[in-house]
Amino acid sequence: MPPLERNKRDVAQRILDHATKLFARHGFVGASLRDIAKAVGIRKPSLLYHFPSKDDLRRGVLEQMLAHWNHAVPRILRAATAGPEQFDAIATEALTFFREDPDRARLLLRELLDRPEEVAPLVAMRVQPWSKIVCDYIRKGQEQGRVRADVDPEAYVAQVINLVLCGFATHISISRVLAQAPEEHDPSERLLREMLRVAKSSLFETGPAPAPARARPAIAGGA
Amino acid sequence: MPPLERNKRDVAQRILDHATKLFARHGFVGASLRDIAKAVGIRKPSLLYHFPSKDDLRRGVLEQMLAHWNHAVPRILRAATAGPEQFDAIATEALTFFREDPDRARLLLRELLDRPEEVAPLVAMRVQPWSKIVCDYIRKGQEQGRVRADVDPEAYVAQVINLVLCGFATHISISRVLAQAPEEHDPSERLLREMLRVAKSSLFETGPAPAPARARPAIAGGA
DNA sequence: CCGTCTCTCTACCACTCGGTAGGCACATCG
DNA sequence: CGATGTGCCTACCGAGTGGTAGAGAGACGG
């Protein structure tokens, strides 16, 4: 690839990155092309040379994020077909995607709020292969008695998505609501641990809790 | 109260209502004063007569929503100090607030995304009395062995807030992700039921599930 | 009946927005 | 070397924004 073309891709990439951050922080209408261009270090018409319109830029940002997700899915699916202790593996892989950059959660949430008709099908396409695996896993676990019988697989997946999306998007605010010291990028470990615990313990009959008094036969799926 | 003054309050109220809806749907920057005025049926300067600036209107909208929440809290607290089967009562009362008008969840989520520094303390003030009751209830339940020992009360409350907020704000999109028929205002009953189930079963050792094979001594707290 | 006060209106303002026109520097290639 | 084309720039545009000025219609109190 000639250096000139590489440079072009490089600038486009930097535009996408800064646009992602500013769209996530201030919303699509709240982030102006001037601000984005300034963050990149160029002028607005130069930005419009790479992305012919603001809406093109928005779609580019969304596509890049979904592409990143696509890139993460194989790792998640591999975790999903590994061993019997699949839950933690799946959860860890899926959370990594948002831990890498919490702006992804903010951006996605904003897009779902602003343009549900357009964004929902796009997201659905990317989420379904993964959610299908999880649902199958849940149903099989239910047949084997490992997973609670009252779990509604698809609806459960939706709740976990809510949990993660909102958790990463608003953790700073939520931390303050609980009068905790907010951390810079990640939700505090405490909130993240509880997020996982809620997701897990609502799935299996018993969680990894050290049941204080009464001993109970260990069931596959708990730690 | 003279009819003239009542009319003034009436117009201000209609402005607040329409502004709530439009802010929730399109965001603060995305909803223009002209659009809001048009929805009310007046002109923009008339709107600015009642609310001197757009930011005043925003604060008014937020305050009204928090006031509505304040109005709902006594019912919730009453439910919280009723009987042993408190969970369903608390949950129902709290959910009613958002079921009445899902725009409340959307508005709150948007404000938390846009202005965490300003909104978080406001919300914290309103949520803390309620969350404190819930946390005390959880801790007492843990001492009595009714509630799972591994629950982190404050963090658990945060997760439930995430679940509800995101669930009501994006349920249309999430429904489509799961390829369900979206309903007009409420999340589909199926999603709502699972939301409650996740919150409840992650709190108590056993849920209301008809444990299929192995019988187990009933523990207070489950249904 | 007349002055005052309340509320709404039309007309306008400065400003920012997304987007365009056209020129300039430079790298590439025949 | 000149021709071509790429990528960035300054300058500008119309549209829409939040907000203001000031006039007019109608209710109220003396």
Encode pLDDT of A192-214 as tens digits. 999 999 999 998 876 444 434 43
A196: closest CA among A183, A212, A181, A207?
A: A207
When pLDDT is averaged across residues B121-141 and rounded to a whole number, the result is 87
Q: Which of residues 132-171 of A touch B (CB under 8 A)?
A: 145, 148-152, 154-159, 161-163, 165-167, 169-170
Who wins on pLDDT, B10 or A47?
A: A47
Residue A80 contacts residue A157 (beta carbons within 8 Å):
no
Angle between helices A54-80 and A33-40 (to 10 degrees): 70
When pLDDT is averaged across residues A34-53 and rounded to a whole number, the result is 97
When pLDDT is averaged across residues B129-147 and rounded to a whole number, the result is 87
CA distance B154 to A177: 10
The b/e string for A161-176 (b: 16+ C-beta within 10 A; e otherwise) is: bbbbbbbbbbbbbbbb
CA distance A105 to B112: 13
When pLDDT is averaged across residues A116-127 and rounded to a whole number, the result is 90
Q: Is the pLDDT of residue B211 over 60?
A: no
CA distance A60 to A140: 38
- Which sign does the torsion angle of CA B184, B185, B188, B191 carry? positive
Same domain, B43 and B127: no
Same domain, B62 and B108: yes
Question: Binning pLDDT at 50, 70 and 90, where does residue B183 land?
Answer: low
Same domain, A98 and A194: yes
Beta carbons of A194 and B128 less than 8 Å apart: no
pLDDT, tens digit, 9 for 90 and up, residues B66-121: 999 888 888 877 776 655 567 888 788 888 899 889 899 999 999 999 999 999 99
Beta carbons of B202 and A206 less than 8 Å apart: no
Phi, psi torsion values for B27, nearest 5 degrees: 85, 165
Q: Is the pLDDT of residue B170 over 60?
A: yes
Most confident range, picked from B23-32, B63-72, B76-85, B139-148:
B23-32
When pLDDT is averaged across residues A117-123 and rounded to a whole number, the result is 91
Would you call B222 helix, strand, or coil by DSSP?
Answer: strand
CA distance A161 to A158: 5
Residue A192 lies in a domain: yes
Question: Binning pLDDT at 50, 70 and 90, where does residue B208 land?
Answer: very low
Residue A191 lies in a domain: yes
Same domain, B31 and B80: no
pLDDT, residue A80, reads 66
CA distance B210 to B194: 16
Q: Residue B30 maps to which CATH number?
A: 1.10.10.60
Angle between helices B116-143 and B103-114 (to 10 degrees): 110
Strand D proximal residues, B:50-89, Cβ < 7 Å: 52-55
- Chain A residue nearest residue B124, CA to CA: A177
Residue B217 lies in a domain: no
The parent domain of residue A12 ranges over 1-52
Same domain, B141 and B191: yes
Phi, psi torsion values for A207, nearest 5 degrees: -90, -170
What mean pLDDT, rounded, does chain B reach? 84
Q: Partners of A147 in the beta sheet?
A: A204
Lowest-confidence pick of A102-116, A139-153, B13-27, B50-64: A139-153
What mean pLDDT, rounded, does chain A reach? 84
B171: closest CA among B155, B190, B199?
A: B190
Same domain, B192 and B165: yes
Task: Report CA(A188)–C1'(D11) in Å, whole number.
Answer: 49
- Kindly write down the DSSP assignment for every residue of chain A, as one continuous string: --HHHHHHHHHHHHHHHHHHHHHHHH-TTTS-HHHHHHHHTS-HHHHHHHSSSHHHHHHHHHHHHHHHHHHHHHHHHHHHTS-S-HHHHHHHHHHHHHHH-THHHHHHHHHHHH-HHHHHHHHHHHHHHHHHHHHHHHHHHHHTTSB-TT--HHHHHHHHHHHHHHHHHHHHHHHHHTTPPPPSSSPPHHHHHHHHHHHHHTTBSS-S---SS------BTB-
Q: Is the pLDDT of residue B223 over 80?
A: no
Residue A12 lies in a domain: yes
Same domain, B16 and B93: no
CA distance B16 to B148: 43
Q: Residue B66 maps to which CATH number?
A: 1.10.357.10
Q: Which nucleotide is nearest to A2 (CA to C1')?
A: C28
Residues of A in contact with B163 (CB under 8 A): 159, 162-163, 166
Q: What is the largest CA-CA distance in chain B?
A: 70
Indicate if CB(A52) is under 7 A from strand C.
Answer: yes
| Residue given tokens 């049926």 in the structure block | B41
Same domain, A31 and A94: no
pLDDT, residue B82, reads 58
Tokens (6 digits) for B195:
């939301």
Residue B223 lies in a domain: no
Residue B209 lies in a domain: no
DSSP label at residue B24: H
Residue A103 lies in a domain: yes
Beta carbons of B163 and A158 less than 8 Å apart: no
Same domain, B87 and B129: yes
Residue A218 lies in a domain: no
Same domain, A85 and A124: yes
Beta carbons of B114 and A30 less than 8 Å apart: yes
CA distance A129 to A126: 7
pLDDT, residue A186, reads 63
Q: Calculate the CA dihedral of residues A28, A31, B103, B165 and round it to 10 degrees.
A: 90
CA distance A40 to A17: 9
Beta carbons of B162 and A156 less than 8 Å apart: no
Q: Judge whether B27 is closer than 8 Å to chain A, CB to CB.
A: yes
Who wins on pLDDT, A169 or B87?
A: A169
Who wins on pLDDT, A146 or B179?
A: A146
Domain total in chain A: 2
Strand C proximal residues, B:29-58, Cβ < 7 Å: 42-46, 49-50
Who wins on pLDDT, B178 or A204?
A: A204
Lowest-confidence pick of A179-188, B72-81, B147-156, B166-175: A179-188
Question: Binning pLDDT at 50, 70 and 90, where does residue B188 land?
Answer: confident
Q: Judge whether B184 is closer than 8 Å to chain A, CB to CB.
A: no
Same domain, A37 and A118: no
Same domain, B47 and B83: no
